[in-house]
Copies of this chain bind each other. A is one copy, B any other.
């Protein structure tokens, strides 16, 4: 720390995004196909380097959300996952990446012709089943992101971020079932969810489907932290 003049090591800083959504009751993640080496042709999480030394990490994440995913970042839940900094994680040199978790409601396929060309919603099953390999350490980042989403569903109102502005309780249940990977009793779920004060509030309107009784519509309530929490069934004995 003294004596010899200290020269900062050349370290690059990047942000990567785990953008999760629900498509036909399946958890999907947004991936982009890499156009350049390394890992050319392989799929990777959207992300990129910091623009300049003054750019905030969170701002960089929002920017990549727009540029690479073509998503309106303003309405999306965004949360830091952590820093990934193994010295050999990027063959180009030392790159430390700060990962962010974003949750989006069901969205159409990303449009081609933009920065998001080559971006695609991919079922997370395809990755953790091993059918699809990701570039860098992105599989680990994705796993961490999903785990974070799972625990946040218990203690926060994150689940509503997967839904449109208004939603039925059955739709909300599908979020929990897809992210947790379990099936829940609709009657107990209904009772439990309505018993958490401030979680969801009735929106007045109803949703009519082709069959069956119309469902009440709800919107996200004022409470962001759930008390009591919606504990997920613990698998172990």
Task: Choose one: B81, B227, B236; the contact of A234 (CB below 8 Å).
Answer: B227
Identify 6 residue pairs between A and B in the complex whose beta-carbon atoms are under 8 Å apart, listed by A's number: A9-B52, A10-B53, A13-B85, A82-B83, A227-B235, A227-B237
Contact: B56 with A87, CB < 8 Å?
yes
Q: A81 CA to B237 CA in the complex, in Å?
A: 30
- Residues of B near A235 (CB, < 8 A) are 227
A190–chain B nearest beta-carbon distance, Å? 21
Among A21-29, A37-45, A92-100, A123-131, the stretch in contact with B = A92-100
Contact: A82 with B85, CB < 8 Å?
no
Residue A142 lies at the interface, judged by CB distance under 8 Å to chain B: no
- Residues of B near A109 (CB, < 8 A) are none
Which residue of B has the minimal Cβ distance to A93? Answer: B53
Residue A201 lies at the interface, judged by CB distance under 8 Å to chain B: no
The 10 closest A-B pairs by CB, nearest first: A9-B53, A57-B85, A227-B236, A83-B83, A53-B94, A83-B98, A9-B52, A54-B87, A11-B13, A227-B234
- Residues of B near A80 (CB, < 8 A) are 82-83
Q: A117 CA to B96 CA in the complex, in Å?
A: 31
Q: A13 CA to B83 CA in the complex, in Å?
A: 11
B-contact 0/1 string along A1-12, CB 8 Å cutoff = 100001011111
A13 with B87: in contact, given A49-B8, A227-B236, A228-B234 (CB under 8 Å)?
A: no
Residues in chain A within 8 A of chain B (CB atoms): 1, 6, 8-13, 48-57, 80-83, 85-87, 93-94, 96, 98, 197, 227-229, 234-237
Q: A11 CA to B56 CA in the complex, in Å?
A: 12
Instruction: Give me 17 other A-B pairs in contact (C-beta within 8 A), A53-B94, A197-B237 excluded.
Output: A6-B49, A8-B12, A9-B13, A9-B50, A11-B50, A11-B53, A13-B96, A54-B87, A55-B87, A56-B85, A56-B86, A57-B96, A80-B82, A82-B82, A227-B234, A227-B235, A228-B234
Q: A85 CA to B98 CA in the complex, in Å?
A: 10
A94 with B54: in contact, given A83-B82, A83-B83 (CB under 8 Å)?
A: yes
Contact: B8 with A10, CB < 8 Å?
yes
A15–chain B nearest beta-carbon distance, Å? 10
